[in-house]
Amino acid sequence: MTENILEVKHLSKDYGDFVLDDISFSLPRGVIMGLIGENGAGKSTTINCILNETEKSAGEIRIFGKDHTAEEIAVKDKIGIVFDENHFPDIFTPEEIGTFLSGIYSRWNWKSYRQFLEQFELPKNKKIKDFSKGMKVKLAFAAALSHGAELLILDEATSGLDPVIRDDVLDMLMDFVQDESHSVLVSSHIISDLEKVADYITFLHKGKMVFTHEKDTLIDEYGVLTCGAAVFDALDRSEIIAYRRSEYQYQVLVKNRQKAGRQYPDAIVGPASIEEIMLFYVKGEMQ
């Protein structure tokens, strides 16, 4: 069993008007990784390349230690996928979806699938076109979790869901990785959800890799320094990641808030949330 369930090395995709450029990260077993970035940052392109739905221009992708294209069928047999849109035919019922998927996945588990349908209160003989968005997402999870998947990949799967259903989804993800051979890659613009459940954060911006870090490292070390113009002018520029200025003060994203607090006692230094870190990179001014 490989230590990393997913390895992406120097992934690039050139669309002409958009380039996903040299993306590299590894997803260990037993963890949840959040993939963040503004709309158009390259999150969905990255996921589509991983799933070989989009042909990459360059780079290497290995899943379960296997090349994702050369052994695509074997690899996808152990991946559960949940997107923000329903990919099942609307004229099908959950029971018919189960029959269809049982012919695709080698480890399809009818007992597990029907238990999920019951748990999620999904009528097995009702057509999907009559389901709400929340019901469709729950059906996608029932399918994704009923064929022995070791890797779950979610692309904006919680988008547009009410808070109760979103919370149910987050609980499912945490339950899934209780088995330490399982992992989750989840793309979401709802950063507060990822702060609750993610072990790692990978941040893309304008098609480029900003960082991939353990979430706790980001929360423990990054900070926002608030100061006036005089203190800002005296700051060590190597300590500044990005900054925003208003009429009376500066807010500065720093990588080591404890050090900044000691070094600049006249400034106010506090923790930075994952969302604040992302917004500084996207909207702040860079050194």
Are both 158 and 267 inside the same structural domain? no
Q: How many domains does the chain have?
A: 2
Are both 226 and 208 inside the same structural domain? no
Tokens of 185: 């890659």
Which residue, of 212, 246, 272, is where some domain finishes? Answer: 212
What confidence score (pLDDT) does residue 2 get?
52
- Token pair 């993610």: residue: 198
Q: What's the Cα-to-Cα distance from 204 to each of 21, 39, 192, 201, 223, rounded to whole Å? A: 10, 10, 17, 10, 20
DSSP 8-state secondary structure symbol assigned to residue 149? -
d(CA 79, CA 263): 48
Are both 60 and 191 inside the same structural domain? yes
What confidence score (pLDDT) does residue 1 get?
47
Are both 206 and 234 inside the same structural domain? no
d(CA 174, CA 86): 23
Are both 17 and 139 inside the same structural domain? yes
Are both 175 and 252 inside the same structural domain? no
Answer whether 89's CB lies under 8 Å from 101's CB. no
Residue 109: other Cβ atoms inside 10 A = 16
What confidence score (pLDDT) does residue 164 get?
87
H helix or E strand, kind and range, residue 36 = strand 32-36
What confidence score (pLDDT) does residue 123 get?
96
Amino acid at 70: A
Tokens of 136: 């469709």
d(CA 38, CA 203): 9
Are both 200 and 248 inside the same structural domain? no
149: alpha, beta or left? (left if phi > 0; alpha if psi -120 to 50): beta
Q: What is the pLDDT along the chain (287 residues), one digit of tens a residue?
A: 458 999 999 999 999 999 999 999 999 999 999 999 998 999 999 999 999 999 999 999 999 999 999 999 999 999 999 988 778 999 999 999 999 999 999 999 999 999 999 999 999 999 999 999 889 989 999 999 999 999 999 998 888 788 888 888 899 899 999 999 999 999 998 899 999 999 999 999 999 999 999 999 999 999 999 999 999 999 988 889 999 998 889 999 999 999 999 999 999 999 999 999 999 998 887 76
The domain spanning residue 58 has which CATH number? 3.40.50.300
The count of C-alpha atoms lying within 13 angstroms of the C-alpha of 232, restricted to the half-sphere facing its C-beta, is: 19
Which residue, of 187, 212, 237, is where some domain finishes? Answer: 212
- Token pair 């000691």: residue: 262
Are both 269 and 166 inside the same structural domain? no
Are both 158 and 268 inside the same structural domain? no
Helices (H) and strands (E) in the chain, counts: 11, 15
Which residue, of 195, 212, 229, is where some domain finishes? Answer: 212
Q: Which domain holds residue 69?
A: 2-212
Are both 235 and 117 inside the same structural domain? no
Are both 186 and 231 inside the same structural domain? no
Are both 96 and 118 inside the same structural domain? yes
Q: Are strands 223-227 and 183-187 parallel, antiparallel or unpaired?
A: unpaired
What confidence score (pLDDT) does residue 174 get?
94
